[in-house]
Structure 1
Amino acid sequence: MLCDSAESISDGKLNIYGAGWSVVSSPTPPCSVVIKLEVPWTMRNVPLRLALDLVDADGRKLGGVTGENDGVNPVPTAVPGVPLDSSLVVPVPSFPLAPGRYAWQLEINTEVPDGGYLGFTVR
């Protein structure tokens, strides 16, 4: 989700502000990309490599960020067998883009998951 700003708080919860837009002008305003994952119980404590790339309408990567975590650790109240909530907020600074269609593409362990594209338009 694209939003003006957000913060990840306890237990995978998010506080999201100014969410739901998909059209911006250039230079783009500072914003955040919010990623909400449901991690299968069988993948708890398994390290994840995440990449968030900005791609143009032709799929060319224009930039991005990568990171790794030590896996999603179950909270004490987690129910065995139930997927674990995990969230990530990626702040994005203002930058110029030519008018057109773009997307943020998420990769988890080098694979793009279902719903791993977040499109937006620069007017």
Structure 2
Amino acid sequence: MDPTVPAPASLPTLRVTMLLADSAQVADRKLYVLGGGLSVIGPRPQPMGVAIRIEVPWDRANTPHQWRLDLLDEDGHPVMINEQPLVVHGRFEAGRPAGLQAGTPLSVPLAITFPSLPVTPGRSYAWQLSIDDSTHLDWRQRFHVRETPQRPMGPPPSPS
């Protein structure tokens, strides 16, 4: 091991901000969020965007990272689609722009949008982010799916 390279435990920590929204996208290295701050959805299927901002410390720039976003049920188990867990993954590398003051943290925006999700009314879920096979409690965004409204029981309306 190269003694000039810090051990993984001594590397500065990545910081993550996550927000659930109706829609999210990245343009010009900025996050654009529509209807952000969701914590309750449904019960009908609807689109959902996951907006993520990763703050990369200066000392971890120019290093490739792998990210993974898992949808978990309220028991912490992966949500399955066709017997496969619902997972999105990719990689990022924060470069140091010319002229940026040394020590400035770098921002990496990610936006993932789903047309609808395989969720059940009355249940809770969480999106869990991991980076380089590590995760933290604050890298999780929970949400709840409303119950389907019950129709009132009673006699049918009389014809007029």
TM-score clears 0.5 = yes
Structure-2 separation of matches of 1:58 and 1:92: 22
Match of 2:107 among 42, 65, 85: 85
Q: Which runs of 5+ in 2 are unaligned?
A: 1-18, 80-85, 147-160
Matches within 5 A, 1:57-96: 57-62=74-79, 63-69=86-92, 71-96=93-118
How many residue pairs were aligned?
121
Between the aligned residues of both structures, percent identity stands at 36
**SS of match in other structure, 1:35:** strand
Q: Distance in 1 between matches of 2:125 and 2:69?
A: 13
Shift of 1:52: 0.2
Matched with 1:29 is 46
> What stretches of structure 1 of length at least 5 have no aligned partner?
none
Larger radius of gyration: 2
3-state SS of 2:70 partner? strand
Q: C-alpha separation between the residues in 2 aligned to 1:77 and 1:28?
A: 46
More strand by share: 1
Partner residue of 1:109 out of 132, 137, 158: 132
Q: Which amino acid aligns with 1:5?
A: S
* 1:26 and 1:96 in contact (8 A); partners too: no
Letter in 2 for 1:60: H
Whose relative contact order is higher, 1 or 2, with alpha carbons under 8 Å and at least 6 apart? 1
* Alignment RMSD: 1.5
